[in-house]
Amino acid sequence: MAIVQPQPATEDGRRRLSLSNPVDRHHVGDLEVSTKAEVDAAVERARKAQAEWAARPVAERARILRGAIDVLVRRRDEIVEQVRAETGKPKAEALTIEVVPACDFVNFWCKRAPKDLRDEKRRLHGYLLPMKKLRIKYQPLGVVGVITPWNAPFVLSLNPVVQALLAGNSVVLKPSEVTPRSGELAVKVLHEAGVPTDVLQCVHGDGETGAALVDGAVDKISFTGSVQTGRAIAAACAKKLTPYTLELGGKDAMIVCDDADLERAASGAAYLSMFNSGQVCLSVERIYVVESVADEFIRLLEEKVSALRYGSEDGDVGPLFFDRQVDVVSGHLEDAKNKGAKVLVGGSRAAGDGLFFQPTVVVDVTHDMQLMTEETFGPIATVMRVRDEDEAVRLANDSQYGLGGSVFTKDAAKAERIGGQLKTGSVVHNDAAVIYGVPEAPFGGRKDSGVGQVNGLDSLRGFTHAQPILLTRGGSSNESVWYPYTDKTIRNLEGLIQHGFGNKFIRKLLS
């Protein structure tokens, strides 16, 4: 469904979109766009249903959602078929990217939620300890709007929705108009597991529908997509002080050190720049190789990419999922060639009606090329020689993006040292995009790559308000600073400052 064309409106004036398959362009259906009134109605239903859902214990919500794993296992062929119909990605990638992590995310969050979201006791410090007790309650926010992209349409819908539901919220999901049925299928899976219909709803459409959801009476927006749309969402949310999480684009760098296992590094570069046809926010889009090993690395990479199969549903590299993306990839490559880059493998759109682009290797690139500065989102491995690892770090950080990065070296300590210098949300040693599949790890970008985190403990709690409740112990004496002020009030305060904080030993006890 990667080719989206406007169609004549329905008899009642609703907009329609025609959807076609990216492999051979056959028509696969039409999509009716949800109106603003329908979006508002969905949010209102979600609001009414949320209180009853939130009243259930976290353990009960987790029990219901955990049932989705059995549904995922049972319906995995249907999920794979639907994702492939919309994207054309190889079956192995539909399983690896969509189904396996979906099962793992549900399993992980359902186990963690009862512990991570339960009321928390926090011990107070110093002079407040005898007088007060602190409790933290993680309250649901209310209605959460989730807007998801087309590159991993099933799992990127399921993961934030499950977290928001576990936290006691109701959810209105707006999947991409490019892959609408995959997002809708994630909703159906959760409904089958037992999530009430009004607690989780799906609305369809393009940017106009997304804007209606953002402008609606929601209590948080979770968005995954482009930087441009993310900025617009941030501005709209700011007007209403609506909290938001933005997981945006990337231009991830891979650093190949002089002691790297070059066979592994070249295999990793081929896969990590081209799996999902390069349409992954964490895709390796820039490869910096230390000069002393560059010739051998490039030789191995060229060999591996030349062997990749593409051009059909049964290949290694599938089509681009969105027709507009063909122009972006072609434009970036043409700009690079005009500025002196050399194409060693591939370099053009494949013949035929589909949206296939040849797996490509490019060298002799510089930072004045779009291929090294703007998100390409295509099956291109772009290699730049560097003098040493310090230059690699400097160039890797020379980007408006800051999502992920990777370091290939046999020395884990070196990987940690170099990784600590990268201005990115995450770093992986001898691998790359797998970090999103590690739910324990906070996942989010810096700079233009986003705001907030979509995994890790803070992500789950990010769908709640952490409400502190300060309880007063019996016989509390802090009333000594209440009205009326007296000389004794001043003496007590002066004594606390002088004998408490002025004495290094007692100061330590009060910390």
Active site residues per annotation:
247, 281
State the residue for tokens 């490559």.
333
The DSSP result for 416-482, as a single string, is: HHHHTTS-SSEEEES--GGGGG-TTS----EETTEES-SSSHHHHHTTEEEEEEEEEPTT--GGGGS
Distance linking the first and last C-alpha atoms of the chain: 60
Within the chain, how many helices (H) and strands (E) appear? Answer: 18, 21
Kindly compute the dihedral angle of the four CA atoms of residues 92, 96, 102, 103, in this order, to the nearest 10 degrees. Answer: 90
Query: Crossing angle of helices 58-74/100-116, nearest 10°?
Result: 170
Which tokens belong to 280? Answer: 């992954």
* Residue 428: strand pairing partners: 406
Instruction: Decide if 177 contacts 252 (C-beta within 8 A).
Output: no
Radius of gyration of the chain (CA): 26
What is the C-alpha separation between 173 and 190, in angstroms, rounded?
12
Residues sharing a CB contact under 8 Å with residue 17, sequence separation 6 or more, in sequence order:
4, 5, 6, 7, 30, 31, 33, 177, 206
289 CB-contact burial (10 Å; exposed 0-12 / middle 13-18 / buried 19+): buried
What is the C-alpha separation between 319 and 23, in angstroms, rounded?
6
The secondary element (H helix, E strand) that includes residue 120 is strand 120-122
Residue among 191, 152, 149, 198 nearest 171 (CA): 198
55 CB-contact burial (10 Å; exposed 0-12 / middle 13-18 / buried 19+): exposed
User: What letter would DSSP give residue 9?
Assistant: P
What is the C-alpha separation between 265 and 278, in angstroms, rounded?
17
User: What letter would DSSP give residue 153?
Assistant: T
CA distances from 420 to 224, 247, 423 (A): 26, 21, 8
Q: How many CB atoms lie within 10 A of CB 314?
A: 9
- Strand segments, DSSP code E, in 291-377 are 342-345, 360-363
